[in-house]
Amino acid sequence: MKKIAFLFFVFAALLTACSTATQPDAAQNGIEISAAKVLLPGGNAMSGMDSTLAAFMTIKNSSASADRLTGVSVDFAEASLHQTTMDGSVMKMNAISGVDIPAGQMVELRSGSYHVMFMNLTRPLKVGETVNLVLEFEKAGKISFPVKVVDQ
């Protein structure tokens, strides 16, 4: 009986460890933000001061009504929302006023699509550092959360 209980415990622990469910980085009023990262290409070799950096994440709206991401701010740079589009064979990146987050849906801010741009840095960033990111939504309000600086 003890062996069966032990095996059951080990099996339950393995299932928990292998679970793909992750906790969101931040959640408020039906908006969940996960897999957030600030990308610092080149890692610690770059000071970041003369660079344009980006942040990527997944935003899930579990509420019954649509919301809109309208702004972003940080204490180390100018921050704005951007979208990358293709015009024939030319890739263009433009500032946008917001990103719609439909009810019950997920929107991914990623390379080659919607993303957060950081320009005119006021201080260098380093890989492994954690910075505070504030996203502003029309309905969910401001959501502030820590984000890790990574090089990939």
CATH architecture of the domain 25-150 equals Sandwich (2.60)
Residue 74, C-beta contacts closer than 8 angstroms, at least 6 positions apart: 118, 131, 132, 133, 134
Burial of 34 (0-12, 13-18, 19+ CB in 10 A): middle
Q: What is the pLDDT of residues 117-137, one digit of tens each?
A: 999 999 989 999 999 999 999
> What mean pLDDT is predicted for residues 9-23?
44
Residue 104: pLDDT band by 50, 70, 90 thresholds? very high
* Cα 91 from Cα 149, distance rounded (Å): 25
Rounded Cα distance, 110 and 112, in Å: 6
Per residue, the 3-state secondary structure of the chain, as one string, reads CHHHHHHHHHHHHHHHHHCCCCCCCEEECCEEEEEEEEECCCHHHCCCCCCCEEEEEEEEECCCCCEEEEEEECCCCEEEEEEEEEECCEEEEEECCCEEECCCCEEEECCCCEEEEEECCCCCCCCCCEEEEEEEECCCEEEEEEEEEECC
Residue spans per domain, the chain: 25-150
Token duo for residue 50: 């003369």
> pTM score, two decimals?
0.81
> Tens digit of pLDDT for each residue in 54-97?
999 999 999 999 999 999 999 999 999 999 998 899 999 999 99
